[in-house]
Amino acid sequence: MRVPKFKKHIVSEKGNERQGFVEEPQYRRMTDAAGPLWLKALMALAYNFGFRRGELLGNRKKGTEPMRWKRVDMLEKTVTLVSGETKNKEGRTVVLTEECHMLLGALRRGKQPEDFVFTWENGEPVKDFRGTWDKLTETAGVPGLLFHDFRRSSVRNMIRRVVPQKTARTVSRYKTDVSLATISCPRMTSGRPRSESRKAPRPQSRT
């Protein structure tokens, strides 16, 4: 099998290398400890596809609203972000993993296309969940872990599975190869990429 070659960039001299990552066992501990279904689905999307918090829960400063169910196609098993809802103003569509499809299917019950995907029990959209997150990370044994660490871990996991760099950039919407390079860590080069039972997420071209 031909292994794609990635460009090398020196980033450690400026202290720009990223430190926060989530390993698979840690992620599983967190999903087991997470109580609300919306939280499990939120983490699954971030961990598998590198979605930003603002893309899922909205960003008041940037005028973007939380994700609505009209962006989720359960039959086609896709989630679509349109231009204007992402940090770099570029839309994208991803094909859901089985885990994400199952969690979103359970979360979808009783909801309408215009309803928000991630909501509290009273139906209000989830926007600030810092208290819930802090309790979860403490319970799972990863205190101090940031939600954004899921995004970095998602891209690193794609590279570990030898997903082409172009595909990893398309799925996560990192703008450049230099951005991807800042995610590198020693464990990526300590051996062969580990085998994964989960299929790598696939981007879908938009027409």
CA atoms within 13 A on the CB side of 75: 1
Q: Give the integer Cα–Cα distance in Å for 124 and 117.
A: 10
User: Torsion angle, CA of 186/9/92/128, rounded to 10 degrees?
Assistant: 60
Residue 192 reports pLDDT greater than 70: no
Average pLDDT over residues 137-163: 85
Closest CA to 67 of 131, 132, 111: 111
Q: Convert the pLDDT of each residue in 21-60 to its tens digit.
A: 899 999 999 999 999 999 999 999 999 998 999 999 998 8
Report the distance separating Cα 88 and Cα 75, nearest Å: 28
Give the mean model confidence (pLDDT) for residues 129-158: 92
- How far is residue 75's CA from residue 99's CA, in Å, rounded to a whole number? 15
Tell me the longest C-alpha to C-alpha distance in the chain. 52
pLDDT of residue 201: 59
pLDDT of 200 reads: 52
Residue 154: per-residue pLDDT: 84
pLDDT in tens, 156-174: 887 776 555 555 455 444 4
> What's the pTM value of the predicted model, to 2 decimals?
0.70
Angle at 156 between CA 206 and CA 136, to 5 degrees: 100
Q: What is the pLDDT of residue 19?
A: 58
Residue 177 corresponds to which tokens in the numbers above? Answer: 């190869």
Q: Given this model, what pLDDT does residue 21 score?
A: 86
When mean pLDDT is compared across 100-114, 148-162, 170-184, the lowest value belongs to: 170-184
